[in-house]
Structure 1
Amino acid sequence: MSIPELLRQAARRHDDRPFLIFPGRTLGFAEVDERTDRLAGALAAQGVRPGDRVAVMFGNVPDWPLSWLAVLKAGAITVPVNAGYGPADLAHVLRDSGARLAMAAPEHAPAIRELGVPILEETAGKAPDVRINPWDLATFSYTSGTTGFPKACMLPHSYWTDTALLMADLVGFSDDDVVMVAQPFSYMDPQWMTLMCLVAGVPLVVLPRFSASGFWPAARRYGATVTYVLGTMPMLLFKQPPHEHDRDNRMRLVMCSGIPPKLHAALEERWGAPWRELYGSTETGPDLLVHPDDAGTVGTGAMGFAPPGKEVKILAENGEPGEIVVRGRPMMRGYWNHPDATAHAFRGGWYHTGDLGYQDEHGYIHHAGRLKDMVRRGGENISCAEVENVLAQHPAVQAAALVPIPDELWGELPKAFIQLHPGHAPDGTTAARVIDHARERLARFKIPAFVEFVDAFVYTPSQRIEKRHLLTPGRDQRASAIATEKERA
């Protein structure tokens, strides 16, 4: 079915039951259906037609999901825009998508108008009678773009409804469940979680933003039972000081992409809830899942098995790491305006993820780094993710990013950008302590040759560091860095 059909079905079944819970505002299932009908009418009255692209730019407020669902009811295609975008990123998304209209918060309207895109003026109208095929496009969802400008994944309605049904079946909801999300609504997670809650008939609590110190207090306050985190979020949560009420919560399942294996058991013990791995991408939706009852994967790094409708395999032999490739449903229809990139991604009939993985003796697939997120030091390949994980375990380190810098002798050398916790000096002594910590845990060739301290990182909506901001063209990457002398020989 289409997303509007899913919404109407849920509104009939659940009527006034709470659906979307924001701080100070709760919307019921039927109310969301009625309000998005009126907004869809306003879009049609301002000339939006099926197939048009409409940008949506709000923070985590009710206007975001209401606008998104209204665009879909009008038969148009939603273009989610990160509310934190600067002028260059905003211009890229609006121009690349060909958005003809935008629905946006007042603070974003001037920048959007300067780029020649009008803002929706009407607030209500008669809902248009539009027939929507499940294969029709629903969103242009832009990839995170950690190393370059993002591309738009063309995602049909069936991609979203397939994902919602699959995830609802995995979680196994009951009437007293409450789902909570802290990621920006412009990112994938709150969108598929909204639709999952439509399928299950349970409420979704939407926090204004992710806060490591406020996440678990919010879970207790709202009685959350299911959530999803990813990226740096697990480490940031674990680094918060232990609290006497850590286990005073209703959480029964934390889904997570990228659970640190060495912390897995400690994460479960601290908050008294199972953490289960979920692997996927904007392009492909969920690809590998660990069942909530599968405690045998704790601490192993196993990402589980492919769900029904998906095939996942490793392009390698003899148990060596190789690229993870995927086919089946859900799946994007391709990259907008990038036919060559689409053909390359789907070469051989499989979507090539760019992730490295291997399969263990039980059939589970494990992550082994990124093909592109690597440092090639002489004849050795260094996984940036592996080194970053070790650096982040040092008590002084809040977050870390590893990047390659050119070197005449070695080809590339690893450089670490490090954000410290308050109270730690960004000097050579601290750098030496962090490097000694890494040296005890990593092979010599993986140790960063340079360290640079930063006040803060720029993050993607998926809580991954945008490394393209670290490697400014023309900048001498050694000039402002601390050389780790033992590693330069």
Structure 2
Amino acid sequence: MRSAGTVAELVQRQWGDHRPGLRYEDIVLSHHQVASGAAARAALLADLLPAGSEPHLGVLLDNTPEFSLWLSAAALAGAAVAGINPTRRGAELARDILHTECRVLITERAHLPLLDGLELPGVRVLVTDTEAYAGLLAPYAGAEPGDAVLGRPGPGTRMLLYFTSGSTGAPKAAVCTQGRLAAAGQSLVDHFGVRREDVHYICMPMFHGNAVIADWAPALAGGAAVALRRRFSASGFLADVRAHGATYFTYVGRAVQYLLATPERPDDREHPLRTGFGTEAGAVDAARFRERFGVRLTEGYGSSEGGAAIQRTPDTPAGAIGRASDRDDLAVVDPSSGRERVAAVFGEGGKLLNGAAAIGELVNRGRTPFEGYWRNEEADAARVRGGWYWTGDLFFRDADGFLYFAGRTEDRLRVDSENLAAAVIENILARWTDAAAVAVYAVPDPVAGDQVMAALALRDGVRFDPAAFAAFLRDQPDLGTKMAPRFVRIVRAMPVTATNKVHRAGLRLAGFWSGAAVWCRDPEGRYVPFGEEQLAALTAEFEEHGRAELLSSDAGRA
């Protein structure tokens, strides 16, 4: 079958296919029913959108069938879906809807309280689980693909406006066209050998690019079915996989750690799952996942905006992501000068010996498929500078050209004049068997630069043993002299964003004192409790060196 140039073509291919195409709880829709439902919604949308308005609709839903149906409907109609994050609140939520110029907002009764009191001029709100919504759709039940379009869909037609997280400012809405989304789906079909009998389990939030680009799109391109989970649940994961016959899933952030933290069972390998694809699981957790569940995880990299991609090959070393894709000219450069960084040098146990000289920002010096941000020229200019696409991610490259992820640019630490990457330290700490989740981040040093702080979420029933943790650190051959955490905070659960990424901003804000268990490494390398007395002494040290402004007066005392 030839590759499709648009998502609309992929949806049209579902017409007349009566195999199961969408699964959700006890609901099973055929591929034809999905296409038919999408055609009805596309016709409704064409009538609802005011003449001359941008063909954009907002979707404020959990992972329900309506989300998938409206993605397909938008493709048929030549419209774009803006995925609205339900963890946003008040003015920020209104800003996301209005910034993307959505004249129609699709939501459900569970999310209506989020809209209370918001001023959304010119926005028509449709509530999917109501009789009024069913009545609106009823006249369009006989619609067919192509009956009503806002503009003939082509490869350059906008398909997605999805918000990317950032450390500062309002989220930016990245543009993804039908051509790019269809190509991304087909690429993953080819890479993973997606079959028509496969079932793609979508448990990551669909307002985020990962679920749509890496899970929904390859299922659509390969003629596979999708199974939806309203929200990710570690405890419900295997039950869903078995019930739906799922063979493929995607993950981001700490999802894999949560799955590994569930109680082990003798039937953990009794399931149809074949592979998982995602980012930030880490080599240690990926190995544990395969040993326990018998499923190979493939770590990939592709910037959310589509500006750079790394492909994993069979000869990729442990810990590496892979090499640059055929389309890209990737380099690791010094962000300040643009000069290419030297190749990584490894010592005993895989210790990175020259991190300060090898770690830099990943850039694409070739032609980039980045399609820009919606109404944000300043962000476009920051992302593409000097003809290069700047990913905002830290990497290092070995002598054979394999690339290793080292964190985000904002996750860099400077300790005693040495540059460190949080992800490198996290990968080492993840080996500690008592830890269910690990996060490393910078806290200010009272004299200059940063200190390393680690947040640890422990496995059920485990208490923090400071002596055992210090002994573990001493046994790690690749832990550099500046990498051992000066501070350790024990958390009940790792704070995460709606996309299961660690909420580092909140951790940094809490600073040195959390009102709970915080430990500090003494000059002998022992971890001792860090309480009010120690905090007062540290505060005085900051004041002595004129750096008191770096401390929040009420950090972490909530």
1:133 to 154, 157, 161: 154
Could you tell me how far apart the structure 1 residues matched to 2:285 and 2:362 are? 24
Structure 1 contact 357–366 (Cα < 8 Å) conserved:
yes
Verify: 1:205 aligned to 2:227, yes or no. Answer: yes
Q: Secondary structure at the match of 1:309?
A: coil
Letter paired with 2:48:
Q
Structure 1 unaligned spans of 5+: none
Match of 2:93 in 1: 90
Q: Pick from 26, 29, 32 the counterpart of residue 30 of structure 1.
A: 32
Aligned to 1:123: 137
Aligned: 1:165 with 2:189: no
Structure 2 length normalisation: TM-score? 0.77
8 A contact 1:313–1:325 mirrored in 2:
yes
Report whether the alignment pairs 1:437 with 2:443. no
User: Counterparts of 1:435 and 1:81 in 2: how far apart (Å)?
Assistant: 44
Cα 1:283–1:431, aligned 2, differ >3 Å: closer, same or farther?
A: farther
Quick check: 1:297 aligned with 2:316? yes
8 Å contact from structure 1 (residues 414, 450) kept in 2: yes
Find the aligned partners of 1:278 and 1:309 in 2 and give their Cα distance: 16
Q: Which residue of 1 aligns with 2:545?
A: none
Q: What does residue 272 of structure 1 align with? A: 294
Instruction: Please give the alpha-carbon distance, in whole angstroms, between the structure 2 residues aligned to 1:285 and 1:33.
Output: 31
Distance 1:414 1:44, change over 3 A: same
Output the TM-score relative to the length of structure 1. 0.88
Structure 2 Cα separation of the partners of residues 345 and 36 of structure 1: 35
Aligned residue among 494, 502, 509 for 1:465: 502
Number of residue equivalences? 478
Deviates more, 1:407-416 or 1:56-65: 407-416
2:174 match: 153
Tell me the C-alpha RMSD between the 2 structures: 2.9
Asked if the contact 1:57/1:82 (under 8 Å) is kept, the reply is yes
Asked if structure 2 preserves the Cα contact closer than 8 Å seen for 1:230 and 1:258, the reply is: yes
Structure 2 Cα separation of the partners of residues 285 and 411 of structure 1: 32
Q: What is the CA deviation profile of residues 360-387 of structure 1, one whole-angstrom value per residue up to 9, with x for unaligned ones? A: 3443222233322112123022222223
Cα gap change, 1:99/1:329 in structure 2, threshold over 3 Å: closer, same or farther? Answer: farther
Which consecutive residues of structure 2, in runs of 5 or more, have no partner in the other structure?
A: 127-132, 334-339, 344-357, 526-558
Using the TM superposition, name which of 35-44 and 478-487 deviates more.
478-487
2:102 to 91, 99, 102: 99
Counterpart code for 1:7: V
Higher relative contact order (CA 8 A, sep 6+): 1
Aligned residue for 1:70?
Answer: 73
1:282-338 deviation digits (Å, cap 9, x = unpaired): 1117711225xx2x436x122223444344333324313332223678833112232
* Alignment-derived partner of residue 344 in structure 1: 382
SS at match of 1:108: helix
Aligned residue for 2:179, secondary structure, equals: helix
Q: Which amino acid aligns with 1:318?
A: V
Is it true that 1:419 corresponds to 2:457 in the alignment? yes
Give the one of 356, 371, 376 matched to 1:333.
Answer: 371
1:11 is paired with a residue of what secondary structure?
coil
Q: How does 1:287-436 map to 2 (within 5 A)?
A: 287-291=309-313, 294=314, 296-297=315-316, 300-315=318-333, 316-319=340-343, 320-326=358-364, 331-425=369-463, 430=465, 433-436=468-471
User: 2:114: which partner in 1?
Assistant: 111
Measure the CA separation in 1 of the matches of 2:224 and 2:480. 48
Q: Is the 8 A contact 2:164 2:174 kept in 1?
A: yes
**CA distance in 2 between partners of 1:40 and 1:306 (Å):** 38
Cα gap change, 1:246/1:410 in structure 2, threshold over 3 Å: closer, same or farther? same
Which structure 1 residue ranges, 4+ long, deviate > 6 Å from structure 2?
A: 327-330
Structure 1 position 166, deviation (Å) = 0.8
Amino acid corresponding to residue 450 of structure 1 in structure 2 = F
Counterpart secondary structure, 1:227: strand
Q: Between Structure 1 and Structure 2, whose CA radius of gyration is higher?
A: 2
Give the SS at the match of 1:134.
Answer: coil
Partner Cα distance (2:320, 2:418) in 1: 25
| Contact preservation (8 Å) 1:323, 1:356 | yes
Q: CA deviation at 1:419?
A: 3.0
